[in-house]
Structures are given as structure tokens and as C-alpha cells.
Amino acid sequence: MDKNFHLFVRNYPGLGVAAHVLTHPNLATFAPDLATARIDIAEVLRRLIKRGELQQSQTYWPDLRTKKLNLTVRAVQHGRLLPVPLKLTVVTRGRAKPERGAKKSSTSAKGQMHVWVPRLDVEGSLQDASDLEAYVEELVRHELYMAPLERLHSLAYLGDETVETISVTTKTRETARALFAAERKSTTYHPPPPPGLSEASRCLNEEARAGLMERAWERTAEVTMLAEAVTSASRASVLLVGPPSVGKTSLVHELVHRAEAAPSGHPLHGLEVYSTSGGRIMAGMRYLGQWQARVQHMIEELRVRRAVLHMDSLAELLSLGGGDTGLDVARHLLPALEGGEVTLVLEATPEDVARAERTHGAFLQALRHLTVPPLSPVAARTAVLHASQRVAKSRKVRFTPDALDRAAELTERFGEGPPPGGAVSLLRAATATQASSKDVDAGAVTQAFCTRTGYPRELVDTSIRLDPDALLRRFRERIVGQDEATLLLRNLIVTLKTGLADPSRPLGAFLLLGPTGVGKTESALALAEYLFGDVARLARFDMAEYAAPGSAARLVGEVGGQQGGLARRVREQPFGVVLLDEVEKADAGVHDLLLQVLGEGRLTDGTGRTVSFRNTVVLLTSNLGADSASRSLGFSGDSPRNMEAHYLGAATAFFRPELLNRLDQVVPYRALGPDIIRTLVRRTLETALSREGLTRRGVKVTFGDDLVDFLARTGFDARYGARPLKRAVEQHAVVPLAQWLAAHAHTPHPHVVLRVSAEGHVELAPAT
């Protein structure tokens, strides 16, 4: 039979999903997505039901409803009361109808409404539904009476909250007894994990037995050292140190596979490995002392079972807990770690280790460090071959030899992680494009890579020729009058096409200098549209908003908090264009961050995680030198060499040498001349007159040079460049046209002429 539960779900974009059972808040998880969270919760619930728990508990009501409420409570900080607005999700149900065999709840009397506020873990009942908002407000105020400001801030949440239904299949008591008896007689009987570990971790041995874990190929030496460390008499805890995606997690998986296959008497025989994360440890922990109790419970069970606990992020572990007490999860684990009571396997990058040495030196000294280097090219090719065979068998396809080579080449060239991890992930994605064919070739791998990244096929497919001249014409049609900038964009793309870009830095790093409204932002949009097929791939930040001291923390996130804007955006979409407008206005701390981004192609966020910028183009814009250029160089006719020297001098006088040295090029943008302005006006007009409202009606609109000259005079401002042109076209052309069409709605397929009257106004007339 099935038993249903309600899940309360909170979505954190770019981070993951938090979920807990509505009636049992201690059963919680934090996962990358909702599907994974449902699997985690279902696994815990199934184990608890199998042990005879939750069978008689009422956990589901078909009439459950949710409602959003806004209220303001007061918090205490330094002896002052501060108002704090909260947006809460309230869950209600009417009269409860117990499931068959369940005891009737005392709160389900006729006419009563049961109320939950899941984020605060408070509930109650009331008689009149019209009192709901007032009742919830009193519940919340009572729960948060004189609460410190920090607690209210921890409850603040503006994302999506939903209630989902999860169904768990259970067996009858007789079937369960028969199965238990059969398992006891079997030589492969495995006892269920203890409740503390099952609630906050998952058993990797079970996943290995179910065939859900990959193997580690060409890593015999590293796996052997890891096995010796965790099975020795001292049972050392291990820190796996290596770059991202090098295969640290696969070593743990291979250790579990070997433990499952080990014969009786072998040191690995019977070894249990559990895996957890910071989110799982802290899920549902709302009050002081809760997470400490959970961690202590886990320590006791790990000690009794002599099991290994795996966590895939040292940085995440070191950021958990803390607060005013100064006791975080790592320091809570340290005594048990030093005493040999528990065995941990943690993962970290070299940057994580360097950062942790300043704050948790004693914790690092208690771990045995095991370096995991990237595989050699030959070993990596062998590992990709072995791993692809597993994918091919499960997907019922065959990978051609050139497909394997193509996957390794693309992932290594574009920095999706060293093989075999990145290559196997790409091969798996390529199988989805082969709906009818059983053979997956290099073309399918290339197409899967383009779909994943947004890159045009002509850029990454070596069999397709890229015409540099055609590409230059394309950019010059989009960015008028800026020959130096369009040459830059063309050369950047040709460099990427030929694979000559430095893989350890961003795809490009450029400083665009020139007056306002001359095409700097348009260049960024054109580049994002060509490289990734969507202008939404442009992440734009106004650096004037980061002028205050300490503003850099908003870009990366405060320590122990969520990621900042820049770090979050690039982590969510690593393939894109980053535009930092008016960079000269940013605080010096922001410029310090840029040194790391431009020089090393990475950024460390507030949680200690590394964000890669190696698949982004970083564009900095500035107006430095624009005012003096108009006086010393003239309007728009100066030579490129003079312009470049002038703007480079302005940049050198303002920016620190170490920042300029990390840029690929300083690109000058010239002021707009009369011919360029008229070209922009004509293009803006043609774009406006091709809108759906006109084409659907079959309306034809024509205009002459008089209108172009009029809009060029009206819409151009030397201070703002071409930006006011769009407003002028809307005001003087689109609005009069809309009024004329509204008055002549019954005229079939009209042909209208836009012209300038003798009085200097735009007028419309039927074409003759």
C-alpha cells in the first residue's frame, strides 16, 4: 500500500531546494533540485515505515491549502526595537479525515481549521476562517517575541514556497516479516542504517549495490592509499585535495565498490561509507543546540558502526554553524576526529586548503592530505573509454572512437573539467540527441556541446569553415562607426575558433573606453548574441552601485552567507558575457576582485567556493578621457592610433598597473559623426516600422531623408550619444503612426508616408 505525505519545499535559485515533511519537520533535506529532494525524503520515510514508525500517524489531507501573508514584527538589536517585514507561507486544512486505521487527531474536531507556519515550525487551530490572518499574526508574534534581529534575518525568505505530495510504497506487515526472514537467511543480508545517519546522510554501499555509482578508472594508486588510510589501526581521516572535477568523489565511490566486493577477512570487508553535505546536516535545524545534537548523534553511530563519513566540500563544512558561540561544525567534530572516534573523507581544492589554514589550522592538521592530480593524457583517454562503456550499455548505444576524442577535446579546450568527468557527462548528453541512431559520433557530441553552452556550431566544429570577413561585416552592420571595436570582436571569435585562447583565463578581457552612447553596450549585446545565441547571456552590472567601501562583498557574498550577484550569476551560467559598466566608479576593493578574475579566471565567493570565469568574456567600460578627447582630438575623424594613445593614457593615469596588465586590450570608441548618426536613425526607424502591429495589418510605411535628418537633429545629444535616438523615433514617428492607424482602422492595407511638415512636425499622409 502507499502512504502519502506533504512536503514543504523552498526553492533557492542557483543553490538548490530545501524540503521537509510537513508533519515531521525533523525529516528534511537540501538537494540540488526537487526530484533529488523527493528521492532523499522518500528513502528516509521508507526506512522509518519499515521499522514500524509513522504507520499510525496521519500525514496527509486532501483539502490542504496554502496562503501568502505579509506582516511586520519587531526585533531587538542593541536594546532597540526594529521593524522587520516578513512574507510567510501559511498552510491550512479544514476538518481532518483520518486515514484508515489512523487515530483521530484531537485538533480535527468539526468546524476547526488547523494552521501551520512551516518556516517557523508553529501550528495551531481556530474556529473561524475569517480570523486566519489575525490568528497567524498572533502565532508569529508569540513565537518571535523579543527575538534578536539575527534570528528574524535568518527567517527572511522571498523565494517560492510550495507544498508537494509524496507517496511512499509500503508493504503489509506479513510481507515485511517474510522479507525480513528471507534477508536474515541470505548471506548478503545488510542491516538498515541507524536512524540518525539515515536522516542526515545516504548510504553509498546501498547505491553501489543498486548499480547507481560510477567507478574510478586509472586511479589504482590513489584508491589504494585511501583504503589503507581508512582501514588502518589508527583509522586516519583523509582530505582529498585537487582541482574541481578532477575525480575526488569517484575515488570514494571506487572505495565503496571495492568494499562491497571484498571477501571475508579483507580489511575492506564490511566497510560502510555514508555521504552527507552541509545542507543535509543543517536542514530543519532552527534553534540553538539542534545541529549540535544531530552531529553528536551521527558521531556516536559512526563510532559504533566504525563507518566512514564522506563530505564533498571542506569549505562548506567549515562555514556551517558558528555564530556568536564560535563553535562551528568542524570544531564540534575535532575532538572525535583527534581521538580516532570517527573517520572522515573530505574534499577540497588547493585554494580551499590555503583559506582554511588561516581559520581552522588544527582541523586540517587532524587530516591526512592526499593529492589527486589530473590524469595524464593517455590515462585520461583510457578512463574515458572505460566510463563510456557503462554509459553505452545503460543507454543502449555505441560511441564511435571519434566521439570519445571529440568529447575529451571539447571539455579540455573549453574548461568543463578534466577528463573523464566532463567528457563522460558530455557523452551522456549526446545520447539524448540520437533518437533513432544507435551510433553516437563526433557530430552528435558537438551538437550536444553547442546545446549545452549556446556556442554556434561554426565556432566549435572544426569541419565548418568560419569566414572572418563575413563575421566582420556582421558586426559592422550592428555596431556602426566603431571599426576598432568590431575588429576586436572578430579577432576574439577567430582566436576561439582556432583554439588559441589561453584556457587558464577568461575567453577575453577588454576595457572599452569612449563617450556615452557610442556603442559599448551594443558591442557586448552583439557578442553575447553571436557567441551564445541569446542577449540574456549578458550579465550587466552598474559599477556606480558598488562605489561605497566594502561593496565588493555584495559581488561575492558575505562569509558564511549566500553568493553575491556576480558570483551567483556566473556560477548559474558559466558561459556568457560579463559587462561591468563605468568600472572607474567602483570601490578599490572591487578592483582587487577583478585582479583575480582577469588574471586567474576564477573568483572565490563568500562560501569559499570557486567560480570559474574561463568561459566568459569580461568587458569593462569607462568614460575616462571622453571629455578631453572631444576637445583635443576633434569630433570623430581622428586616426585610430591617436585615439588609442589618448584613451590608453587616460586609463594608465587612473587604473593601477596590475589591473591594466591583466587586460587583453584597451579599445577606444570614437564620438559619433553626422553620417553615423543618420545611419543609426535609419536603422532604428526600419526596426520600429517592422513591428508585428504593422506587419499583421499589412501596413506599408515609407519615409524620406527629410525625416532622417529631422530625427538626427532631434534625437542626438552630444552628452548621451545615440541613446536618445530611440526615444525620438518613438515620440515623433511611432506615436503619430499609432494614432493615424487607430483613426483609419477600416482602411485595408494602407500605404502611409512619414514626412516632415514646413512647420517642423512629423505628419502622415496616404501614399499617392
Domain boundary pick from 135, 169, 203: 169
Q: Are residues 10 and 32 in the same domain?
A: yes
Burial zone of 158 (CB within 10 Å; 0-12 exposed, 13-18 middle, 19+ buried): exposed
Distance CA 144, CA 125 (A): 19
User: What secondary structure letter does DSSP report for 325?
Assistant: G
Q: Are residues 472 and 590 in the same domain?
A: yes
Q: Are residues 304 and 232 in the same domain?
A: yes
Q: What is the pTM of this model?
A: 0.64
Distance CA 756, CA 763 (A): 6
CATH number of 624's domain: 3.40.50.300
Tens digits of residue pLDDT in 598-644:
988 888 877 667 788 999 999 999 988 877 655 444 444 556 677 77
The H or E element that residue 525 is part of is helix 520-532
The residues, any chain, with a CB within 8 Å of residue 490's CB and separated by 6 or more, are 468, 471, 472, 475
Number of H helices, E strands in the chain: 33, 26
Distance CA 234, CA 566 (A): 44
Q: Does residue 500 lie in a domain region?
A: yes
Check whether 97 has a pLDDT greater than 70: no
Higher pLDDT, 187 or 768: 768
Q: Are residues 307 and 266 in the same domain?
A: yes
Q: Which residues of 116-125 are buried (b: 16+ CB within 10 A; e: fewer)?
A: bbbbbeeeee
Distance CA 3, CA 367 (A): 44
Tens digits of residue pLDDT in 501-557:
888 899 999 999 988 888 999 999 999 999 998 899 999 999 999 999 888 888 887
309, 345 contact by CB (below 8 A): yes
Q: Which three cell numbers stand for residue 301?
A: 553511530
Q: Does residue 317 lie in a domain region?
A: yes
Nearest to 563 by CA among 11, 15, 17: 15
349, 610 contact by CB (below 8 A): yes
Please work out, in degrees rounded to the nearest 5, the angle formed at the alpha carbon of residue 602 by the alpha carbons of 500 and 423.
60
Tens digits of residue pLDDT in 669-714:
988 888 888 888 888 888 888 888 788 878 888 898 889 888 888 8
Tens digits of residue pLDDT in 449-506:
998 888 999 999 888 999 999 999 999 988 988 988 999 999 999 999 988 888 889 9
DSSP labels, 87-115: EEEEEEE-S--PPTTPPPPTT--TT-EEE
Give residue 718's pLDDT. Answer: 67
Distance CA 371, CA 365 (A): 15
Burial zone of 455 (CB within 10 Å; 0-12 exposed, 13-18 middle, 19+ buried): buried
Domain count, the chain: 5
Higher pLDDT, 747 or 560: 747
Residue 560 pLDDT grade (very low, low, confident, very high; cuts 50, 70, 90): very low
CATH number of 390's domain: 1.10.8
Q: Are residues 681 and 631 in the same domain?
A: no
Task: Name the residue range of residue 422's domain.
Answer: 377-453
Q: Does residue 696 lie in a domain region?
A: yes
311, 347 contact by CB (below 8 A): yes
Q: Does residue 74 lie in a domain region?
A: yes
Domain boundary pick from 615, 639, 668: 668
Q: Does residue 182 lie in a domain region?
A: no
Q: Are residues 32 and 59 in the same domain?
A: yes
245, 418 contact by CB (below 8 A): yes
Distance CA 410, CA 422 (A): 9
Q: Does residue 459 lie in a domain region?
A: no
Burial zone of 78 (CB within 10 Å; 0-12 exposed, 13-18 middle, 19+ buried): exposed
CATH number of 684's domain: 1.10.8.60
| pLDDT above 70 coverage of the chain, percent | 87
Higher pLDDT, 647 or 172: 647
Radius of gyration of the chain (CA): 32
The residues, any chain, with a CB within 8 Å of residue 746's CB and separated by 6 or more, are none
Q: Are residues 342 and 389 in the same domain?
A: no
Alpha-helix runs per DSSP H in 13-130: 34-50
Q: Which three cell numbers stand for residue 676?
A: 553615423
Give residue 455's pLDDT. Answer: 92
Distance CA 457, CA 440 (A): 17
Tens digits of residue pLDDT in 421-455:
788 889 988 987 766 678 999 999 999 999 888 89
Distance CA 557, CA 543 (A): 16
SS3 of 572-602: the string is HCCCEEEEEECHHHCCHHHHHHHHHHHHHCE
Q: Does residue 179 lie in a domain region?
A: no
Q: Are residues 588 and 642 in the same domain?
A: yes
Torsional class of 760: left (φ above 0), alpha (ψ -120 to 50), beta (otherwise): left
Residue 625 CA, chain-centre distance (Å), reads 37
Q: Are residues 301 and 326 in the same domain?
A: yes
Q: Are residues 383 and 521 in the same domain?
A: no
Q: Which three cell numbers stand for residue 551?
A: 561593496
Q: Are residues 599 and 650 in the same domain?
A: yes
Domain boundary pick from 668, 685, 715: 668
Q: Does residue 184 lie in a domain region?
A: no
Q: Are residues 510 and 363 in the same domain?
A: no
DSSP labels, 147-190: -BHHHHHHH---S-EEEEEEEEE---HHHHHHHHHHHHHSTT--
